[in-house]
Structure 1
């Protein structure tokens, strides 16, 4: 967890994670056995990175002291384990629904997600939709580009955002296909898939 922070700043973040009600400069200094001024310097860096923020004043019998707490960005710096939970849900869904119904369900999810993004695509020409799709996929983490080396326009994605899950549940690819097709308002064909050990996922954009 040292990306962009020093080891001392990491220690401060961990202290605040364990003390969600917040800690004062003096409390942090005492916990780390460093000076109050040293803590203040680290606090400034963490505030500038939007990892912590000032909270309410703390009344301790003496003068009020300002508490510091983690921001949402600070909380999200700590590891999260979502994969096992997603795997549990997907396994139950597939077992209860059956393979074909599960496949259709993932396609519906992709189409529904596309509806939330559609205002960015409505009224655009086909080429503009492709550009907007690339930007959207980049935001979602797909690391996508338009590959113009084929007879038909092709979207190429170099990162599968749920690669391990897709290897176990290839039906997840229906989500991508439905999403891309809906946003482009064109039929598409997936000709490469990283979950099948290809180097990228590739989607041919067909004519209407």
Structure 2
């Protein structure tokens, strides 16, 4: 008789490491996870199978940039809403109800005012950091500051500027219904960097990460972008 594989309670911390790695780095292949977590491919597959069965992860076809090679693209594993909720606050529903009341009594403008207000302390803390940084380094300084506050942000480069990915959003469930939360954040980025920014994707809209294009900042940051945006 074949021995029945026993699931160890020690698997739970490893599965947490897998989900946290995906949260911090975005949708990942099994090979990526094995390398990142120093696990064998077989061990990673076992944990992925369980997380898929539990509804914590979902499998997607990997996006191929440029010329596609032969064969099927590798599968990437991304957090589902249920998986992301393990990192989110349990007060999401309360926040949604409060904003619904605010929208009903004060309208969309009141919701936008709140969205801007909740970021004001964050902006005040970040501004001195960016002012002290070299203009070329400001996107990275911003991403590092966001990461320290739990947004798991990273920076990539493009010919036109930088691309910032936020792999975690504490208000993603709220932003599904109230996109003003995302709009206020983009405004904050523009003011801090002194240039316009473009939001390309958001977790709230079902994307794997929040992605923002940050154009190259001028040597002397212009206040024009900040002046255009309401405070």
Aligned equivalent of 1:88 = 97
Find the residue that maps to 2:161 and give its secondary structure: coil
Aligned equivalent of 1:197 = 206
Q: Distance in 1 between matches of 2:170 and 2:90?
A: 15
Q: Distance in 2 between matches of 1:115 and 1:138?
A: 16
Aligned equivalent of 1:110 = 119
Q: Tell me if structure 2 keeps the 8 A contact 1:109–1:175.
A: no
For residues 112 and 182 of structure 1, do their structure 2 counterparts lie closer, same or farther at Cα, with a shift above 3 Å needed?
Answer: farther
Cα-to-partner distance string for 1:154-207 (whole Å, 9 max, x where unaligned) = 111121221111112111112321232222222211011111112211111135
Cα-to-partner distance string for 1:6-33 (whole Å, 9 max, x where unaligned) = xxxxxxxxxxxxxxxxxxxxxxxxxxxx
Q: Tell me if structure 2 keeps the 8 A contact 1:111–1:178.
A: no
Return the offset for 1:111: 4.5
Return the offset for 1:101: 4.1
Q: Distance in 1 between matches of 2:110 and 2:192?
A: 23
Q: Tell me if structure 2 keeps the 8 A contact 1:160–1:194.
A: yes
My pick for the range that moved more, 175-184 or 99-108, is 99-108
Is 1:166 matched with 2:175? yes
For residues 156 and 197 of structure 1, do their structure 2 counterparts lie closer, same or farther at Cα, with a shift above 3 Å needed?
Answer: same
Q: Tell me if structure 2 keeps the 8 A contact 1:188–1:203.
A: yes
Structure 1 residues 1-208: aligned runs within 5 Å: 81-111=90-120, 113-149=122-158, 151-206=160-215
Aligned equivalent of 1:12 = none
Q: Distance in 2 between matches of 1:192 and 1:186?
A: 19
Unmatched 5+ stretches in structure 1: 5-79
Q: Distance in 2 between matches of 1:147 and 1:103?
A: 29
Q: Distance in 2 between matches of 1:185 and 1:108?
A: 19
Cα-to-partner distance string for 1:70-127 (whole Å, 9 max, x where unaligned) = xxxxxxxxxx732232222211222222124422442354355302332222232222
Q: Tell me if structure 2 keeps the 8 A contact 1:111–1:182.
A: no
Larger Rg: 1
How many equivalent residue pairs? 133
